[in-house]
Amino acid sequence: MKPLLLAALLLSLPRPTPGAGIAPLEPLPEPVAARYARALKLDGVGKNRLKRVHVRRNLEYIRRGDLALTLDFYSPTKQPRRLPCIVVITGGGFSARTPANFAPFAAHLASQGFATACIGYRGRPGHTYQATIRDTKAAVRFVRKNADKLGVDPDRLGAMGQSAGGHLAAMLAVSDGVSVYETDAGDADVSSRIQAAVSFAGVFDFISRLKDGGHQQHGLATKRKTNGEWIGQPFSESSAAWQEASPISHLDRTDPPLLLVHCRSDRTVPVEQTEQMIAALEKLSARSRSIIFEEGGGHGITAARDVNQRAWAATVRFFKEILTVAEWRFRR
């Protein structure tokens, strides 16, 4: 083939994206940024930072038969060096979720100088706890394996989530090397270990949560039913599966630091879950900590503006401390 003809042919071909399956960064659309800012109750400074966030949407991190599980990747506008990355996990009663469910949280963390990977995952109905936890590990492995393409430091990965997502973030922190979760969980040659985790209103011990009607939580019978659907069997205090699904069953001294955030007024996941978990963690390491808001809030952190702002400030400080993030400077 003549050189000029070959050159013309090559120019006509579609240009590849940066790395297989890695789409280019795009600015977060202004209406989307404004909607996220309202959801997070941000002040003027927070709104301005959010406008500078960029996103790569719908990155397939693993394929399960005909189902493509995806994540949305958020990043600050400028990346002078590799960034620590936070895997952001939505809640939702352990049902199947998409990245859109927790997008404002992922974008907000990105506005503070982190990369974030907001993930979807399998859940009830149709999939049990082992499948969901394996999906979260597959997402960590995808980010670590593609660190060069994403501009991420593979040695500084964290996770955060709320409610069911808080459980999954904690499980990522404490289940490194637990074989039942490492099987069928992405590239086995890549580590699924994370270096820090934050859990908002997470479930850490299913047995103590559901064994009686105490702790003033609502809908105990319904929780036993829906949680049992995710565990794959009816509730039983002696069940190995219910214990295996509880992060508190997997603690050891090698676990990374955790920050547990809860509101005393939570009637969905009782605050005793955080109190029991932090007591167990403190016996193993002094690096983990908890914050319990005695007034306001409810289930989750966005219910009250004051609680919301304090919880997010603590989250950002924790991740910056543990993952050694330098302060970022944004033009106002």
Phi first, then psi: give them for residue 70, nearest 5 degrees: -125, 165
Per-residue pLDDT for 158 more than 70?
yes
Going by C-beta distance under 8 Å and a sequence separation of 6 or more, which residues neighbour residue 233? 239, 241, 242
Per-residue model confidence as pLDDT tens digits over 93-123? 999 999 988 899 999 999 999 999 999 999 9
Which pLDDT value is given to residue 325? Answer: 62
Per-residue pLDDT for 265 more than 90?
no
Going by C-beta distance under 8 Å and a sequence separation of 6 or more, which residues neighbour residue 11? none
Per-residue pLDDT for 257 more than 80?
yes
Range 217-243 burial, b when 16+ CB lie within 10 A, else e? beebeebbebbbbbbbeebeeebebbb
Per-residue model confidence as pLDDT tens digits over 15-66? 333 335 587 889 998 888 888 888 877 888 888 888 889 999 999 999 999 9
Phi first, then psi: give them for residue 126, nearest 5 degrees: 105, -20
Per DSSP, the three-state class of 74 is strand
Weakest-pLDDT range from 97-101, 233-237, 310-314, 325-329 = 325-329
| Spatial distance between the Cα atoms of 163 and 268, rounded to a whole number of angstroms | 9
Amino acid at the residue 18: P
Span 224-248, mean pLDDT?
Answer: 96
The ranges assigned to domains in the chain are: 26-323
The region, left, alpha or beta by phi > 0 then psi within -120 to 50, assigned to residue 80 is alpha
Range 279-294 burial, b when 16+ CB lie within 10 A, else e? ebbeeeeeebebbebe
> Which DSSP letter does residue 184 get?
T
| Spatial distance between the Cα atoms of 264 and 275, rounded to a whole number of angstroms | 10
With CA atoms as reference, report the closest residue to 318 among 257, 271, 277: 257
Q: How many helices (H) and strands (E) does the chain have?
A: 13, 9
- Per CATH, is 26-323 categorized as 3.40.800.10? no
Per-residue model confidence as pLDDT tens digits over 167-222? 999 999 999 999 999 999 889 999 999 999 999 999 999 999 998 655 567 788 88
Span 258-283, mean pLDDT?
Answer: 93
Span 250-259, mean pLDDT?
Answer: 96
Which pLDDT value is given to residue 79? Answer: 64
